[in-house]
Chains A and B, each alone.
Chain A
């Protein structure tokens, strides 16, 4: 059994290194993005093998899923920027599949395939010719060094006993959540602030253009979205709820809900109403603000900044996690859509 697991680990490691190398060395950006998504999925399996299911969930949802979607939409926008003949009157959407059915399908197809000058620039990376062997030698040396360090390192229990000893004051039954929302709440607050900053950056940099994707004709995609959205919402809320006693929590739940929002904005970009800007702003900032407000309340009424009284810890953590889930989900969708909606500028 151990030999089989070892073989699995070696194959997994080789796959990770191979995919990472192909991703970095690929001259085709689309291929690099696909390889990056593959890399994220393999990395999630690696986290499972390291018995860190929380990180595996987050990696699969954020690292592979949403980052992949963000990279793909960025690639599509880059193509539009680099192909000025398509953007005569502002950013125009790509050929509509319905329109191309009725008539100039060939011309449209040729246009879609025509790489153009911009695409050539997009898909041509500088040739990595010189210094390859020295790079291989250096990485080989580094790998040997790392293996030697790992072999001589003694595997201490780390901070696990300290966390286990204080679980009763944390308010939750899952060690990871206890660390993230109670013992090291400061780190998590800063993470939420980072997510908020990313969203603000996207909003400040530009207006939200029409999504480069058009809905596919036919009933299949709307039907699938109708089936998948409720399941995604239930899964997200379940992950949020499970965080107190099992792998899960705000980031995973927010990622699943954000993916549901991205799916919806991709599948029905025309019938989606613009959200109320004020409500949207409240939603996006809710996580960090709630966290900060309750943390300050802890400073004046409780033991210290960002600490919770023992008997109130569970409800407070639940409130913070709920706000954080909402903010993370909304920010991820906002990052994907990219920029504030035109209605806000009016």
Chain B
């Protein structure tokens, strides 16, 4: 019961961060601020979701897999954000061809 409550609170808190990150992606004016919103919010949001799912896991192996997913997304997200930012810095912003 307490575990379920903890899960619900943490996952919902994580979803708030995801929603905030998505809002930032849609509303912020340029690439850098969008990246800032997206990566910060997604990493923290996914961390909270993973933390919330831990009480529901079957055992330590499952918990380790959940943590591994979070760490991998952190690494991949940070790398991708860095590359997008670097590309923008050297080549200018991607323009819509419309």
Q: Tell whether A227 pairs with B75 under 8 Å between CB atoms, given A109-B92, A112-B91.
A: yes
Q: Tell whether A228 pairs with B98 under 8 Å between CB atoms, given A100-B91, A109-B91, A109-B92.
A: no
Decide if A97 touches B72 in the complex (CB within 8 Å): no
Smallest CB separation, A163 vs chain B (Å): 26
Taking residues whose C-beta sits less than 8 angstroms from the other chain, chain A's interface range is 20 to 34
Q: Could you say which residues of chain B place their CB within 8 Å of the CB of A227?
A: 75
Decide if B97 touches A228 in the complex (CB within 8 Å): no
B window 60-92: CB within 8 A of A = 68, 72, 75-76, 78-79, 82-83, 86-87, 90-92
Q: Could you say which residues of chain A place their CB within 8 Å of the CB of B95?
A: 113
A294 and B78 alpha carbons, distance in the complex (Å): 46
Give how many A-B residue pairs fall within 8 Å (CB-CB): 50
Decide if A123 touches B75 in the complex (CB within 8 Å): no
In the complex, per-residue mask of A212-249: 1 if CB is within 8 Å of any chain B CB, else 0: 00001110110010011001000000000000000000
Q: For the complex, is A27 an interface residue (Cβ under 8 Å from B)?
A: yes
Cross-chain contact of B96 among A28, A95, A109 (Cβ < 8 A): A28
Q: What is the chain A residue whose CB lies nearest that of B92?
A: A109
Residue from B68, B78, B82 with most neighbouring chain A CB atoms (10 Å): B82
- The majority secondary structure among interface residues of chain A is helix
- The majority secondary structure among interface residues of chain B is helix
In the complex, per-residue mask of A103-132: 1 if CB is within 8 Å of any chain B CB, else 0: 001001100110100011001000000000
Smallest CB separation, A156 vs chain B (Å): 32
Q: Could you say which residues of chain B place their CB within 8 Å of the CB of A224?
A: 75-76, 78-79
Q: For the complex, is A276 an interface residue (Cβ under 8 Å from B)?
A: no
Decide if A220 touches B79 in the complex (CB within 8 Å): yes
The 10 A-B residue pairs with the shortest CB-CB distance, nearest first, are A224-B79, A109-B92, A97-B90, A220-B82, A123-B97, A109-B91, A216-B83, A216-B86, A112-B91, A115-B97
Decide if B90 touches A100 in the complex (CB within 8 Å): yes
Q: Could you say which residues of chain B place their CB within 8 Å of the CB of A231?
A: 68, 72
Decide if A97 touches B87 in the complex (CB within 8 Å): yes
Decide if A221 touches B79 in the complex (CB within 8 Å): yes
30 contacts between A and B (CB under 8 A): A27-B98, A28-B96, A28-B98, A95-B91, A97-B90, A97-B91, A100-B91, A101-B90, A105-B90, A109-B90, A112-B91, A112-B92, A113-B92, A216-B82, A216-B83, A216-B86, A216-B87, A217-B86, A218-B82, A218-B86, A220-B79, A221-B83, A224-B75, A224-B76, A224-B79, A227-B75, A228-B72, A228-B75, A228-B76, A231-B68
